[in-house]
Amino acid sequence: MNAVILLGAPGSGKGTQAARLAESLGMPHISTGAILRQAVTDGTELGVAARDIMAAGRLVSDEIVLGIVEARVSAHDCRRGFILDGYPRNRAQARALGEVLSRLGATEWIANIAVPAEELAARVRGRRGTDGRQDDSEEAFRRRLEVYESESLPLLDYYGDRASNVSGLGSRDEVFGRLCAALPFATAQLVTQ
Ligand code: AMP
């Protein structure tokens, strides 16, 4: 079982690349942000608990997101592997994920999509209004970037050599090509398809 962990700032293109990778490899794309947004839309208990935190660009509690991830990766369609997008977001989540993955006997593949901060801000300004994301407002985005820098960026130290750095600049195809090259198992599977 292959577990792909995609790291990257808000606006890095992580969601787009995760979806494409998932489609190419025939593995589920697990976006904790998308699961939470759906819960908000559905007005479930989870959605009610997460709504204001998400709108403000802050992190939902580790306990809640771990519950979501544990349930999702245990599903039958994840038996060959899955692509994680937006999890882990801090060291505590990374440690919890490590335990889940070792229980599943999964091999980890970690890639970080690196994009300079000015470019991130320009991209999010560009998608504002078209994506309908409440947390793309100027203030919420600034907060998400701060949270990313203080909580999520340290994951690069946490994973060290286990994480491959991929430049997120250029076209989507270029980034996808680099990402596949950084994930040897993915290259092998794409070639044999
Ligand atoms: P994303 O779509 O990944 O940018 O996530 C949107 C929002 O959902 C984030 O700003 C957080 O409020 C929440 N969220 C998503 N994933 C996590 C996570 N792993 N831990 C905490 N909050 C999360």
58 assigned to active site? no
Whether 9 lines ligand 1, by a CB cut-off of 6 Å, is no
Under a CB-based contact definition with an 8 Å cutoff, are residues 29 and 19 in contact?
yes
Instruction: Determine if ligand 1 sits within 6 Å of the CB of residue 144.
Output: yes
Q: What is the pTM of this model?
A: 0.94
For residues 109 and 83, what is the distance between their CA atoms, to the nearest angstrom? 9
Residue type, 75: A
> For the segment 3-41, what is each residue's pLDDT rounded down to a tens digit?
999 999 999 999 999 999 999 999 999 999 999 999 999
Give the residues across from 107 on adjacent strands: 2
The question of whether 128 is a catalytic residue gets the answer no
pLDDT the model gives residue 153: 97
Report which of 47, 57, 48 is spatially closest to residue 89, judged by C-alpha positions: 57
Other CB atoms within a 10 A radius of the CB of residue 10 amount to: 25
CA atoms within 13 A on the CB side of 21: 34
- HSE at residue 77, side-chain half, CA atoms within 13 A, is 10
Q: Are strands 81-85 and 107-114 parallel, antiparallel or unpaired?
A: unpaired
Residue 193 pLDDT: 56
Q: Is position 14 annotated as part of the catalytic site?
A: yes
In sequence order, which residues have a C-beta less than 8 Å from that of residue 103 and are 6 or more positions away? none
For the chain (193 residues), the mean pLDDT of every run of 10, in chain order, is 96 96 96 97 97 96 98 96 98 98 96 94 80 80 94 98 97 96 82 58
Q: By C-alpha distance, which of 152, 156, 185 is closest to 83?
A: 185
**Ligand 1 lined by 89 (C-beta under 6 Å):** yes
The reply to whether ligand 1 has any atom less than 6 angstroms from the CB of 87 is: yes
| Residue ID of nearest Cα to ligand 1 atom 10 | 57
Q: What's the pLDDT at 185?
A: 81
pLDDT score recorded for residue 124: 81
Q: For residue 138, what are its two tokens?
A: 């100027």
Residue 192 confidence (pLDDT): 59
